[in-house]
Chains A and B, each alone.
Chain A
Amino acid sequence: MTTTVADTEEGTVSPYALSHLDSLESEAVHIFREVAGEFERPVILFSGGKDSIVMLHLALKAFAPAAVPFSLLHVDTGHNFPEVLEYRDRVVAEHGLRLHVASVQEYIDRGALRERPDGTRNPLQTLPLTEKIQAERFDAVFGGGRRDEEKARAKERVFSLRDEFSQWDPRRQRPELWNLYNGRHAPGEHVRVFPLSNWTELDVWQYIAREGIELPEIYFAHEREVFRRAGMWLTAGEWGGPKDGETVEKRLVRYRTVGDMSCTGAVDSDAVTLDDVIAEIAASRLTERGATRADDKMSEAAMEDRKREGYF
């Protein structure tokens, strides 16, 4: 599936120019293969969201016709969309992968974590994630984070060193030169690896379209019972909504990101095909997180603080 490129300059068309998607794909595959060559126990964080789906697709391509030499890890908040869990399980079975689950609900049930007053569980994912990494001795953890998502991420490395508490110290990050990644770490430390560092939301969607990758249905327009909170359309459900004064209505919506039900908002949309979605995003005046994530609006430094603690 290679796209040919017509360079804009007449007469400077090079038969060797790669399209931007081919460049990004090649770079991501290189990153997956570096980790396979240099680490003992890598794992891919897999939520069933579009970025982790693209990561898995790239990993499958990187090692074909052999199997992907990594297992998957899902941090389950207990408030996941059923369509997404169903998709996750189907994909795992289809490719014969091993899935690890770290469950926020389980931590709450045994009193190791406390539910927040606002009901959001995204910040609660850090502890189950970091303890699972320690328990399984994962030394490389692939995340779908992209540098275009948020200001603190713009400074993130492709190979991001974490100490034994999974903490991110921006001053301890190593300069990344050429494509020479340095994955050395002490026992107990691990490296978070971001193969989609240089992708934008639009790149991800275009790649999904080009490769014909199947996604959970909630990424496309559908009728859903939602209510308004903090300027977002949230899905009604047992996780904590609607509350007094919030009214449920049926709307035609879709999700731009897929996360915890309590803080992932839907957007009004009639985009039912990938092309519709791409056109909508290309014309959108809001970033993906700005439109749909309550948790990033908390403070100017919200993401930076959570990253330091070991968040994705």
Chain B
Amino acid sequence: MSTITSEELSATTLLRFATAGSVDDGKSTLVGRLLHDSKSILSDQLEAVERASASRGQEAPDLALLTDGLRAEREQGITIDVAYRYFATPRRRFILADTPGHVQYTRNMVTGASTAELTVILVDARNGVVEQTRRHAAIAALLRVPHVVLAVNKMDLVDYREPVFAAIAEEFTAYASELGVPEVTAIPISALAGDNVVDPSANMDWYGGPTFLEHLETVPVSHDLAHCHARLPVQYVIRPQTAEHPDYRGYAGQIAAGTFRVGEPVTVLPSGRTSTISGIDLLGEPVDVAWTTQSVTVLLADDVDVSRGDLIVPTKDAPATTQDVEATVCHVADQPLTVGHRVLIKHGTRTVKAIVKDIPSRLTLDDLSLHPHPGQLVANDIGRVKIRTAQPLPVDSYADSRRTGSFILIDPADGTTLTAGMVGESFASPEPVKDALDDDGWDF
């Protein structure tokens, strides 16, 4: 293990990624292998796993135990939630949202993918692309995760044969591009034997690409912001009102998209008032330009009325405000979402009342068939909804901006988070609409 110096570490970037796959695909083994081979499992954690494995009568340490956190899960041998894992290499820091891959955990996959810049979809080389693989691809596409990795696992069980890998990679890539996934990287691995996870495989010299970890270390983490609409949701107004700063009025927030410059004409939504950026404070440091995802405080040249919940945008690139939001949603609560449901919608830093006007369709992820007018959405359902909001919201299309094109619905009675929403079209390409064959899909 090479020792990491503090200089090397302080200049690394951060990649947030998510995994999707089931226990059978070897996901826990892959995650365990990644942590183990990148020297991120420390000896006391490994000892704890060995102790726990031994007390259950298992012969070898069960790496899955590293990633199962709660007693309920251990007793039932399942994973019930998103767990976050942390590891680092000399090149990059990683945050892994580890989500279980079973059908009923769609909401966890959606949660994990919502903050991910890359998602890993695991398949078993012996089974190839199965229904669940297509479901995972659809979620990555819906959530517009910029990078998708197809990890073809258990290559050792197919004698490391290239044609097996090539056929799976081709089938998956074709399916994913139909859904508008911008980029797929397919990597043949064996998580159990360690091939191409961290170290290159001696058994697959026909493969010339990066190992799984190399790819994670080198995939670009920030995107070209030149074409992004700049957006700053105002979180808080900073007014010291001290002798030193009698007139300071700063609008604090995290830039959700794009870049802002001092001198730029801006509009405050929903009021529509205009001003010019007279200064940007980057956590105590004055700067001329700031960009996503920096937390900043913006000062305006004019004394306009700005408060929490407002959105500051470039005057030349302002979104329309609307009270009618149409979106693709994933329902994440145990109680159903019904037509006529009175909810709260949180968009950016603004929370307003809203009504679910219509649920035009429910989408079955396995085959992308649409079921018209389901009447309600239950936990883990994906569907289209039309929402009428009590006040106008400056929404973007989710395809253009993940942070200002997304929202959550909240139950006003008990505060439960009901639904995760993405404004605009579901997929980057036109959806294939098939006839609904039957309704047994995954309602339970």
Residues of A participating in the B interface, judged by any CB pair closer than 8 Å: 1-9, 12, 14, 16-27, 29-30, 33-34, 36-37, 61-67, 147-148, 151-155, 161, 170-171, 173-180, 182, 184-186, 197-198, 200, 202-203, 206, 209-210, 275, 278-279, 282-287, 290-291, 300-301, 304
**Is B238 in the interface zone, CB < 8 Å from A?**
yes
Residue of A155, A177, A304 with most partner-chain B CB within 10 A: A177
Query: B45-66 vs A: 1/0 string, CB under 8 Å?
Result: 1001000100000000000000
Q: A177-B420, A179-B115 are in contact. Are A7 and B294 (CB under 8 A)?
A: no
**Is B318 in the interface zone, CB < 8 Å from A?**
no
**Is B414 in the interface zone, CB < 8 Å from A?**
yes
Query: B272-304 vs A: 1/0 string, CB under 8 Å?
Result: 000000000111110000011111000000000
A65 touches B244 (CB 8 A): yes
Please pick, from B88, B114, B415, the residue contacting A185 in the complex, using a CB distance under 8 A.
Answer: B415
A179 touches B408 (CB 8 A): no
Bound-complex Cα distance A66 to B242 (A): 8
**Is B386 in the interface zone, CB < 8 Å from A?**
no
B410 touches A175 (CB 8 A): no
**Is B111 in the interface zone, CB < 8 Å from A?**
yes
Name the residue of chain B whose CB is nearest to the CB of A147: B84
Bound-complex Cα distance A92 to B285 (A): 24
B5 touches A279 (CB 8 A): yes
Which residues does chain A contribute within 8 Å of B86, judged by CB atoms?
A: 147-148, 198, 200
Between A and B, 13 residue pairs with Cβ closer than 8 Å are A62-B283, A64-B284, A66-B238, A66-B248, A155-B70, A174-B416, A178-B115, A182-B415, A275-B6, A279-B6, A290-B45, A300-B74, A304-B69
Which residues does chain A contribute within 8 Å of B130, judged by CB atoms?
A: none
A238 to chain B, nearest CB (A): 30
B346 touches A182 (CB 8 A): yes
Q: A179-B403, A182-B417, A198-B86 are in contact. Are A29 and B295 (CB under 8 A)?
A: yes
Which of B9-17, B155-163, B170-178, B353-361 lies at the interface with chain A?
Answer: B9-17
Name the residue of chain A whose CB is nearest to the CB of B52: A300
A210 touches B10 (CB 8 A): yes
B128 to chain A, nearest CB (A): 31
A182 touches B9 (CB 8 A): no
A304 touches B95 (CB 8 A): no
- Interface positions, chain B 85-103, Cβ under 8 Å from A, are 85-86, 88, 91-93, 95
Bound-complex Cα distance A174 to B111 (A): 10
A29 touches B403 (CB 8 A): no
B45 touches A283 (CB 8 A): no
Which residues does chain A contribute within 8 Å of B283, judged by CB atoms?
A: 25, 29, 61-62, 64
Which residues does chain B contribute within 8 Å of A170, judged by CB atoms?
A: 70, 72, 80-81
Which residues does chain A contribute within 8 Å of B127, judged by CB atoms?
A: none
B111 touches A177 (CB 8 A): yes
A18-B294, A177-B114, A304-B71 known, 5 other contacts, Cβ within 8 Å: A7-B220, A8-B217, A151-B69, A170-B70, A200-B86
A282 touches B3 (CB 8 A): yes
Bound-complex Cα distance A177 to B344 (A): 15
Bound-complex Cα distance A131 to B149 (A): 49
A285 touches B43 (CB 8 A): yes
Bound-complex Cα distance A179 to B254 (A): 10
A32 to chain B, nearest CB (A): 9
Bound-complex Cα distance A273 to B72 (A): 43
A300 touches B48 (CB 8 A): yes
Which residues does chain A contribute within 8 Å of B254, judged by CB atoms?
A: 26-27, 29-30, 33, 179
Please pick, from A19, A62, A154, the residue contacting B11 in the complex, using a CB distance under 8 A.
Answer: A19
Which residues does chain B contribute within 8 Å of A175, judged by CB atoms?
A: 82, 107-108, 110-111, 332, 417, 420
**Is B429 in the interface zone, CB < 8 Å from A?**
no
Bound-complex Cα distance A4 to B329 (A): 38
Which residues does chain B contribute within 8 Å of A23, judged by CB atoms?
A: 13-14, 293
**Is B441 in the interface zone, CB < 8 Å from A?**
no
Bound-complex Cα distance A61 to B242 (A): 17
Name the residue of chain B whose CB is nearest to the CB of A12: B220
Closest 6 CB pairs of A and B: A290-B44, A184-B415, A20-B14, A66-B240, A29-B295, A20-B93
Which residues does chain A contribute within 8 Å of B74, judged by CB atoms?
A: 300
**Is B203 in the interface zone, CB < 8 Å from A?**
no
**Is B407 in the interface zone, CB < 8 Å from A?**
yes
Name the residue of chain A whose CB is nearest to the CB of B308: A37
Query: B139-163 vs A: 1/0 string, CB under 8 Å?
Result: 0000000000000000000000000
A155 touches B308 (CB 8 A): no
Which residues does chain B contribute within 8 Å of A174, judged by CB atoms?
A: 416-417
Which residues does chain B contribute within 8 Å of A180, judged by CB atoms?
A: 346, 406-408
A37 touches B248 (CB 8 A): no
Q: A18-B294, A29-B254 are in contact. Are A177 and B218 (CB under 8 A)?
A: no
**Is B201 in the interface zone, CB < 8 Å from A?**
no
Bound-complex Cα distance A203 to B92 (A): 12
Please pick, from A4, A9, A173, A282, the residue contacting B4 in the complex, using a CB distance under 8 A.
Answer: A282
B328 to chain A, nearest CB (A): 13
**Is B235 in the interface zone, CB < 8 Å from A?**
yes
A8 touches B222 (CB 8 A): no
B291 touches A16 (CB 8 A): yes
Bound-complex Cα distance A221 to B242 (A): 41
A286 touches B42 (CB 8 A): yes
Which residues does chain B contribute within 8 Å of A7, judged by CB atoms?
A: 13, 220-221
A260 to chain B, nearest CB (A): 20
Query: B379-417 vs A: 1/0 string, CB under 8 Å?
Result: 000000000000000000000001100111010001111
Query: B244-276 vs A: 1/0 string, CB under 8 Å?
Result: 110010001110000100000000000000000
Please pick, from B6, B11, B45, B68, the residue contacting A278 in the complex, using a CB distance under 8 A.
Answer: B6
Please pick, from B70, B248, B259, the residue contacting A152 in the complex, using a CB distance under 8 A.
Answer: B70
B6 touches A19 (CB 8 A): no
Bound-complex Cα distance A154 to B346 (A): 26
**Is B236 in the interface zone, CB < 8 Å from A?**
yes
Bound-complex Cα distance A184 to B108 (A): 21
B70 to chain A, nearest CB (A): 6
**Is B185 in the interface zone, CB < 8 Å from A?**
no
B5 touches A3 (CB 8 A): no
B82 touches A155 (CB 8 A): yes
A183 to chain B, nearest CB (A): 8
A37 touches B95 (CB 8 A): no
Please pick, from B48, B111, B240, B259, the residue contacting A67 in the complex, using a CB distance under 8 A.
Answer: B240
